[in-house]
Amino acid sequence: MANDASAVSDARSPAVSNDKLADPFTPPADSSLWRKNFLLGAATASYQIEGAVDEDGRLPSIWDTFSAKPGKVLAGDTGAVACDHYHRWEADVDMLASLGLEGYRLSIAWPRVKDAAGLPNRKGLDFYKRLLNRLKEKGITTFVTLYHWDLPQHLEDRGGWLNRDTAYRFADYADLMSRELAGTVDAWATLNEPWCSAYLGYGNGHHAPGLADGRFATQAMHHLLLAHGLALPVLRANDPASQKGIVANIGRGTANSASAADQRAAHLFEVQHNAWILDPLLKGAYPQDLFELWPGTEPLVLDGDMQTISAPLDFLGINYYFRTNVASDGAHGFRDVPLEGVERTQMGWEVYPDGLRDLLTGFKSTYHNLPPIYITENGMASDDKVIDGHVDDTQRISFLKLHLAAVNQAIKAGVDIRGYFLWSLMDNFEWAFGYERRFGVVHVDYSTQKRTIKRSAELVAKFLKERKARV
């Protein structure tokens, strides 16, 4: 889940107009979403749902350490219990299947499957084997992310992503997992949102491990992307039948005025959010505009690194949530200028589906080797409550309908998009915002762990049932 606000933010969602209560979810008849081969699923991440942080040999992660520090996470929340998925996974898979969702994107907790000496932790590996085997039994397509931010703390103690050796340790981890889980994974993603890992973790300190230095951010990014590149040939060798890719969060930046300075600011925003990751992956070089924005932060790049990083991908995962309106800061960068009178979510993020369409079509023009795309995360947080056994998450229903329409527009414009994953399957630990912000299509009562299917999930299930009946 992409998250670039500080832990102390307390934005609230606006009231939703009654006319949206009648807004159906079902896409129009000419929508590409009716295609039989368009995958519709839901996503989660290990630290956000599993809990059981000290069971069966799991080691501490940087998020265990970070969330234990006062003031780092809203209300002092941690992922120690989360959704207790580690113990409730069978029921959660049954719930996923009952909704008719065709795909499930999950991540593996690196600290759960290897010990500090780099040896396999069999109890942790067995957990994921049981989970993936059950998903395959249910006929659910499996997308597995190797790194969704929970770096083992013992690696952070040796420098984390600032240490080039971590990239090689990641390749070792990818080797173990792809040997152990070969045949149960349809698609491997090496990293989730390296922008968040590098910038929020090492650039501004809002995420684990909580460091704040521009030079740290660019060097951490380089090592993250190097880790991705080193892992790809290992995954291909061990599990040749699966797809291999990476997941990037993208941001739409719009200019506050038509002035050249503000237009440049919007360009630099998108360089920092998008080209910083996509250019090395798809062009084999970092965008030089990035170092105009952050002078003197060029990472140490060794011979052969960029060739490793830019190896061909089978797919590119795209996570999108909102746009940012910016103006020139009067120097070399940009500043946020929040727009008034726009719809916002519980996170304070603007609902702007056109940004997803515009970015996707822009990528098609910019990157002539753009691989097939899956929207691996899209969704919104709202202050959902169970009333008489039901959750009527009206704003989310509208959000999903609008963003799926934007995806359809991008497909009609020629972008090869093959699937869409809701973020998230269920409410969970929302990183620096703890448990207050609810992104799930299934409500979780954290005091009882009761799951309640929201109206949005019911409508998605209804659509999938209708689509299946048409085939």
Instruction: Just list the catalytic residues.
Output: 193, 377
Nearest to 384 by CA among 373, 376, 395: 395
* Integer CA distances (angstroms), 222 to 285, 300, 367, in order: 11, 8, 20
Known binder of ligand: residue 148?
yes
423 labeled part of a ligand binding site: yes
188 is in an annotated binding site: no
- 106 with 45: CB under 8 angstroms? yes
E strands of 373-416, at which residues? 373-378
C-alpha to C-alpha distance for 86 and 151, rounded to whole angstroms: 18
Annotation-wise, does 319 bind a ligand? Answer: no
The phi, psi pair for 371, rounded to 5°, reads -75, 170
Tokens found for residue 115: 């010990």
Per-residue tokens: 408: 């359809």
DSSP 119-170: -B-HHHHHHHHHHHHHHHHTT-EEEEEEESS--BHHHHTTTGGGSTHHHHHH
Q: How many CB atoms lie within 10 A of CB 39?
A: 18
Question: What are phi and psi for residue 21, nearest 5 degrees?
Answer: -60, -30
Q: Is 320 annotated as a binding residue?
A: no
Assign 321 to helix, strand or coil: strand
**How many C-alpha atoms does 110 have within 13 Å on its Cβ side?**
29
431 is in an annotated binding site: yes
Bridge partners for 320 per DSSP:
250
Q: Is 424 helix (H, G, I), strand (E, B) or coil?
A: coil
466 among annotated binding-site residues: no
Q: Are 423 and 319 in contact (CB under 8 A)?
A: yes
Please state whether beta strands 334-336 and 315-328 pair in parallel, antiparallel, or not at all (unpaired).
antiparallel
Binding-site positions for substrate:
48, 148, 192, 321, 423, 430-431
List binding-site positions: 48, 148, 192, 321, 423, 430-431
